[in-house]
């Protein structure tokens, strides 16, 4: 099996010999084998949507453009995948918007607490001018935004007790993505935020290094975190989406017709992903609750009030505030 170290070593060697960087692009009679990464498991909706892109590309090009996937974090963390795509070591990657906040500030507006009211609200915003503005913002740093995927309602889960109001989080060590917004939000809620990669969470829960985490229920199920954390609290504190990115080098290296096909196919994959997401999310919810996970509704107004200082601070940035206002107009 190809791991990240072997993959990068092969890419560096091939880059010296090929006009297109990295071993993931094979220039042989106009043929290209594109690589895509994801930290999620092979049947996760984002992984399956990208697989659909690859199948469509292969069919429409007669096998001239194909795609090889590395799922389940085989090539490392999301932060590493972003850099590998920027520099052409891989072609495509699906990453959570929170992992993009520092390098691409417009994505911060998507990650602010309670900026979206629901999944339909998030989808309206991402399908319109807001999503277009965010995708266009990636071009400045060697990436092209292809599509924005769902990531569901992020909620808290833990090993200790039900979370109904922010005070219930006081003193708990809670895993968060490596994102300033999430770290500061958890501090406002009174928790002890602990940045970890997704792959480290299960062992962290089992060894009591952390008391809980926050994520969507689909990931709660597919990562099997529900086996260690038996309390799920419906806080809906974030609907921040995922983003599918492609290296600008990769896109420039494709024939114009293949480039247009990839962009259009990625756009169409959003509907594919959403259909898979809705079905699998419902199954995940049923499965974890059937497994005995205790679940409760939370006081959303109390959490929204507690997060107001963070929201106010980020809205001091005119660009973030403008995007926030456009999102709220669609509520």
For 66-124, what is each residue's pLDDT tens digit?
A: 999 999 999 988 989 999 999 999 999 999 999 999 899 999 999 999 999 999 999 99
14: confidence class by pLDDT, cuts 50, 70, 90: very low
Q: What is the average pLDDT score of the chain? A: 91
- Predicted pLDDT at 12: 38
pLDDT tens-place string over residues 181-201: 999 999 999 999 999 988 899
- Predicted pLDDT at 6: 52
* Residue 67 CB burial class (10 angstroms; 0-12, 13-18, ≥19): buried
pLDDT tens-place string over residues 197-237: 888 999 999 999 999 999 999 999 999 999 999 999 999 99
Considering only 4-8, 101-105, 297-301, 311-315, which range has the smallest mean pLDDT? Answer: 4-8
Give the domains, in start order, of the chain with CATH numbers.
4-150+241-282 (3.40.190.170), 154-239+287-329 (3.40.190.170)
In the sheet with 231-238, reading across from the earlier edge strand, the strands are 192-195, 173-176, 212-215, 154-158, 231-238, 294-297
pLDDT tens-place string over residues 125-136: 999 999 999 999
**28, pLDDT greater than 70:** no
More confident residue, 15 or 305: 305
Inter-residue contact 169 to 186 (CB < 8 Å): yes
- Predicted pLDDT at 197: 87
Considering only 18-27, 57-66, 102-111, which range has the smallest mean pLDDT? Answer: 18-27
Query: Could you give the 3-state DSSP secondary structure of residue 31?
Result: strand
């Amino acid at each position: 099996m190809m791991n990240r170290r072997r993959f990068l070593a092969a890419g560096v060697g091939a880059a010296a010999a090929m006009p297109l960087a990295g071993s993931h692009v094979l220039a042989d009679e106009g043929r290209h084998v594109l690589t895509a990464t994801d930290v999620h498991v092979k049947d996760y909706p984002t992984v399956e949507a990208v697989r659909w892109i690859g199948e469509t590309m292969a069919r429409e090009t007669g096998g001239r453009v194909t795609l090889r996937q590395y799922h389940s974090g085989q090539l490392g963390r999301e932060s590493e995948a972003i850099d590998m795509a920027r520099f052409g070591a891989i072609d495509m990657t699906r990453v959570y918007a929170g992992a993009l906040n520092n390098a691409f500030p417009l994505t911060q507006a998507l990650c602010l607490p309670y900026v979206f009211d629901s999944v339909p609200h998030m989808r309206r915003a991402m399908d319109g001018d807001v999503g277009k503005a965010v995708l266009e913002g990636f071009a400045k740093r060697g990436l092209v935004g292809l599509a924005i995927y769902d990531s569901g309602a992020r909620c808290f889960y833990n090993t200790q007790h039900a979370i109904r109001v922010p005070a219930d989080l006081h003193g708990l060590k809670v895993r968060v993505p490596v994102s300033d917004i999430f770290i500061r939000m958890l501090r406002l809620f009174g928790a002890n935020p602990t940045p970890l990669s997704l792959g480290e969470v299960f062992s962290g829960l089992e060894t009591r290094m952390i008391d809980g985490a926050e994520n969507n229920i689909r990931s709660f199920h597919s990562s099997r975190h529900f086996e260690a954390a038996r309390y799920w609290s419906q806080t809906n504190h974030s609907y921040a989406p995922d983003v599918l990115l492609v290296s600008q080098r990769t896109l420039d290296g494709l024939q114009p017709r293949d480039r247009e096909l990839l962009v259009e196919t990625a756009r169409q994959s959003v509907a594919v992903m959403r259909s898979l997401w809705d079905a699998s999310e419902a199954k995940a919810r049923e499965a974890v609750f059937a497994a005995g996970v205790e679940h409760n509704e939370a006081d959303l107004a109390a959490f929204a009030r507690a997060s107001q200082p963070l929201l106010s601070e980020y809205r001091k940035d005119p660009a973030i505030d403008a995007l926030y206002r456009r999102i709220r107009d669609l509520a």
